[in-house]
Chain A
């Protein structure tokens, strides 16, 4: 096993708590049952890593197997690192007919055509997600497996999730994706989180949305204990209305666990302060940043409890409606700027 393989293995094992290593190794299915049995997980991490390296060398495993292990680790723990969303646009007529093998072949063919040394690994996960691991080299040097880019795409959707991509490789990856999925172009999705699951839940609509309908009035969560029969709620109508409004904007039940939303202001100051005329011409640059362990849930709670006045401002409801968490607000008028992407389909 060469140096790079050892470093990759080291990095993977170091990140996992000892109790999960066994699970990962058995999923990997490269070490024999005896070897797995022989591993002692109570020893310090360093010794475990060395033991595994010895096992790999005795089984003649190489970099290919190690990168497979890394990929399995990422598949099981997708919420590592920072993920960015991109959106494919201008679907061509046969975009719907693209099937898995076709996508794989075209993607690989394109990248191999433009970069001489590159290592691409693709895996289809159970939930129809295609995971791609790319180790970039260039025309002279071998692929660098210590800084791989991970790409996740669900076929026939227009979303691509990317982690750890360097600026100089961005154009190659974008070209390959556009060609392989038969779209016209790809653009920034203005959504970045640490949790891939949250990003996927938000964009692929894997949370419960609430729509106004003739039989609306969703059930209120009965978190609070049943009230005493002698106590009556005076404002139950308003409470229900606020709850409905909050759920329509941010969803019902468990929401995608977004952590931040950033609003960049590029507006002009309009107040009556002691500013000179020239000051008023300049942009009043500011950044408003919302942070929370689960942003959508806290916003929903704000609206439902009455802390924020309804109707929900489009600046906040745009997070779910447009699936982004980074906005630029300009002077063109209230609401999200025209720079924002067109309402997503």
Chain B
């Protein structure tokens, strides 16, 4: 009787496992087939990606492509497939270039010494006229360091480098360019004052152009000398931060006309302001 019940239980158990086995083996077969097909697809995609990579490498190294007529079979897809791969490769390369361009803030970097250093140029311009161009060579070996440059030594380059060279190259390049342009603008203003407004004498100026002292002759009876001091505390600006007017005649320097002149010197470039003052008759 035990044998009977136990035996029945065992046979039921076996039957149950066999069913599961069947399901499992079916499932296993299915999965095996799926794996094989996926592997085949992966290999195919790998092959395509390799083709595109080699094309991209050839593009970046300016090597010629080879297209063999005998290779034109169904596997590689023929000429049309090559064209498609070529297009994809071009697109990838251009995207890389665009990314690099963004990284360096849109500046033109020239590679020198086989990738060990790069050279960047800063162009300056003011009022539509191109002024000096400055160059800087950056060493890329371990950390980014300034190797040499032809920026005037009074320019606070070390300060700017300490602030942002290691952290963000783009910010550093943009700050240097901004400061250089402002310096060129201030320097050009001094030159224009000397050239265009002959009656005004430049008493003091310096290489960094952060202070400018002008001696004007006011058109009054008797003609008085007026000293205008323009301070440029913000080196990224080409307009002064502070203007002071001094004269022996206190009433003259305090008059409404000279108050407007002071505002004019604060708001517009030095040479334009002086020419306006001349036109309005405040100065000789």
Contacts and interface: CB of A to CB of B under 8 A. Distances in A.
Contact of B158 (A128, A205, A213, A345): A345
Contacts of A156: 153-154, 156, 206-208
Contact of B153 (A204, A209, A213, A321): A204
Instruction: Please provide the 6 A-B residue pairs with the shortest distance between their CB atoms, ordered closest to farther.
Output: A156-B154, A211-B135, A157-B153, A345-B158, A212-B112, A209-B150
Nearest to A213: B110
Contacts of A96: 156, 159, 208, 210, 235
Nearest to A124: B204
Interface in A314-342: 320-321
Interface string A188-215: 0000000000000001110001011110
Interface of B: 108, 110, 112, 119, 121, 135, 137, 145-148, 150, 152-154, 156-159, 161, 204, 206-208, 210-211, 233, 235
A200 to B, nearest CB: 10
A321 B235 CA distance: 27
A155 B119 contact: no
Given A99-B211, A100-B206, A156-B206, A214 B150 contact: no
Contact of A91 (B119, B158, B211): B158
Interface string A84-117: 0000000100011101100000000000000000
Interface of A: 91, 95-97, 99-100, 128, 154-159, 203-205, 209, 211-214, 320-321, 343, 345
Given A205-B150, A209-B148, A213-B121, A128 B156 contact: no
Given A156-B153, A211-B150, 9 more contacts: A96-B235, A100-B206, A156-B156, A158-B153, A209-B150, A211-B119, A212-B119, A213-B119, A343-B145
10 contacts: A91-B158, A100-B206, A128-B207, A154-B154, A156-B208, A158-B153, A205-B150, A209-B135, A212-B110, A212-B119
A205 B110 contact: no
B206 A155 contact: yes
Contacts, number: 71
B137 to A, nearest CB: 6
A159 B137 contact: no
B186 to A, nearest CB: 13
Nearest to B135: A211
Contact of B146 (A97, A159, A343): A343
B235 A100 contact: no
B212 to A, nearest CB: 11
Contacts of A154: 153-154, 207
Contacts of A211: 119, 121, 135, 137, 150
Contacts of A157: 153-154, 207
B239 to A, nearest CB: 17
Given A209-B135, A213-B110, A321 B154 contact: no
B233 to A, nearest CB: 7
Nearest to B157: A345
Nearest to B160: A345
A154 to B, nearest CB: 7
Nearest to A345: B158
Given A96-B208, A97-B210, A214 B108 contact: yes
Nearest to A157: B153
A193 to B, nearest CB: 18
B43 to A, nearest CB: 43
B19 to A, nearest CB: 76
Contacts of A128: 206-207
A99 B206 CA distance: 9
